[in-house]
Structure formats: C-alpha cells, structure tokens
Amino acid sequence: MAVLDVYPEPTRALIRSRLPAAWHCAFADGYDDERQLAALHGADVAFANWWEVRGDTIRAVPGLRLIHKLGAGVDKIDQAACRERGVRLARISGGNAVPVAEHTLLLILAALRRLPEIDARTRAGEWFKEEARVIQRQLAGRTVGLLGLGAIGQAVARRLAGFDVEIVYHDPNRLPRDVERDLGVRYLDLEALLATSDVLSLHLPLLPGTRGLLGAERIRTLKPGAVVVNCARGGLIDENALADALRSGHVLAAGLDTFAAEPLRDSPLPELANTVLTAHVAGATLDNFGQMVDRAVANTLALREGRPIPDGDLVI
C-alpha cells in the first residue's frame, strides 16, 4: 500500500503502528508526479488525505484497486478515472467531525474577538483596552446559521448549545423534526438563513451544485455585520467578493480554514485585519488521526474480504 500525503516521522510512525503486520507501506516523499508514482509502485491500496489524486496518476498504476480518503471530502480525487479503471473509492464519513467542530468554534470566537490582531498588537507592547472594546464582539445573544447539517454541522450545533445563541440551519435534506428538537435548531430556507444569521458557518461538500454558492449576490444578502466561517471547502465562497464585503464592513469578520487555491496564494484575504486564516488544519489533530487510520484499515480489509463497509464510507 501507499500513503500519498507527505507526513513527518511521528505521523508515519502512528500510521505504521495501526497497519496489519503483513502490510508493506510506502510513503510519498513529495507531491510531484515522480515521487507520487514511486510510492505507488506495486501498490493495490492508496491512502490519501488533502492532496489531489489526479486521473493520470490513477491510470499509471495498473494494480491499484482502492483509494481510501483519510477524511470525508473526495472532491480532490478523480472519480471518473476511478470508475474507468475499476478502482474503488472510500472515505471516512464523519470521521473528523469532532476536531472540525472544535475548530469551527475556535474560528467563530477568534473572528468575533479579532484575535490575530489583538495578539499581534499585544506582543508588540501595545495596551489598548478601550480601542479593543470598539472592534470586539461577543457570541452570546447572536443567531448562528449553519449551512449544512451533516455530521460536522450537527457536532457544531451540539457544541454551541452552551453559548446562549439561537441556532438556525439550512440543508438540502431537512432533518426529521425530532432530530431538530434534540439539536435545538430551527430550519430556514437558504435566503432566510443568509438574512438572519449573525454568524454563518459553512458545512457543505464541494459539488457542482455548491461551488461558488456564496457568491457576490448572496454575500450582499447577508445580514449586515455578519461573520462568515468556513471549515468545509474553499470553493464554496467567492473569495474576491468576500474580501470586498470585509473591506466595506458589510461582513464584520471571517474565519477561514479552506481556500479556493491551497496552499493559499493570490488571495486578497491575508491583507485584511478582520480575517482569521488557518491552513486547512481543522481536522488535523494527532489524537483523531489514529482513529481515522483504524477506520481506513478496517474498510480496506472489509473490501478485500467481500464484506460490507459502513453506510456513507463507500463512494465507488
């Protein structure tokens, strides 16, 4: 088997410790084609995380039988090439819900409190309590809108329960009423959600129908002074339109973990003081990663032995 993402030795050691003793594991040493294919030489299974797996890579490995995403989103894996070559594709549905939900709360609070700016100025020796009072906001008493209420969105809703907020949501598949009641959430249509939310947090997959969902027109319909948080996929948001809204003050602040181009480049967002930006690290906690590898190994063994794998994990 091959691991296609480039990991430091402690992470490699963790992966090795979770694999069956008989498995031979090759780790990629870089993301260029040559080193990706070197890791894949002779492999029948590939574990992939955040880097893309292109069609030409899939087609170049005749023995490849399974690509397993160590996460939930499979938008960076060429599914057409998988079908063409008969390569199975699996993921870990909801496997990183807890760390991503925690990071979402982190970004909501950090954006409201302008944490990067406060931190930088404090380190520089400034003491500016009254000026900070003007730019900081509290979460209590606000309406939080969750755009998408799958495993991660629901985990966020549970963690918001103690913050004295109203939680509203929109999802293409509305939840049963008893689940809404248990989570303490209220359903709204998309336009009402945008107009109502003081904080809008995105938790949708990147699909043809969701790409650019929060474009310039929809950003203009956001409640004035809203905060936008995205721990889902960068392609959901028009970054230039969001930057314009942040500059004008129509959007108060943004906390973003994902971007249209990663690593982050050619984006206006890093220039803005009212942003909190992290490098697609919401799900990247070592304690959760071991569980992700365990599930990927279990799914791989099940597919090899003709047994079913959990609902939602098998994509192709």
Let me know if 280 is a catalytic residue: yes
* Amino acid sitting at position 136: Q
First vs last Cα of the chain: how many Å apart?
19
Question: Which of 280, 295, 305, 307 is labelled catalytic?
Answer: 280
At residue 213, what is the residue type?
L
Residue pair 25/19 in contact by the 8 Å Cβ criterion: yes
The two most distant CA atoms of the chain are separated, in Å, by: 65
Which tokens is 183 given? 């989570």
* Residue given tokens 């797996």 in the structure block: 53
Dihedral angle computed from the Cα positions of residues 271, 276, 277 and 281, in that order, rounded to the nearest 10 degrees: 170
How open is the CA angle 287-290-291, to the nearest 5 degrees? 95
- Which one of the listed residues 113, 137, 170, 233 is annotated catalytic? 233
Residue entry with tokens 């392609």: 235
CA atoms within 13 A on the CB side of 135: 17
Catalytic residue among 262, 271, 295, 304: 262
By the 10 Å C-beta count (0-12 exposed, 13-18 middle, 19+ buried), 73 is classed as middle
CA–CA gap between residue 146 and residue 162 (Å, rounded): 16
Decide if 121 contacts 131 (C-beta within 8 A). no
Beta strands 199-202 and 226-230, pairing class: parallel
The residue to which tokens 């907020």 are assigned: 165
* Secondary structure class of 102 (helix, strand, coil): helix
Place of tokens 């948001």: 237
Strands (E), 44-187: 45-48, 66-69, 88-90, 143-147, 166-170, 185-187
Residues annotated catalytic, as ranges: 233, 262, 280
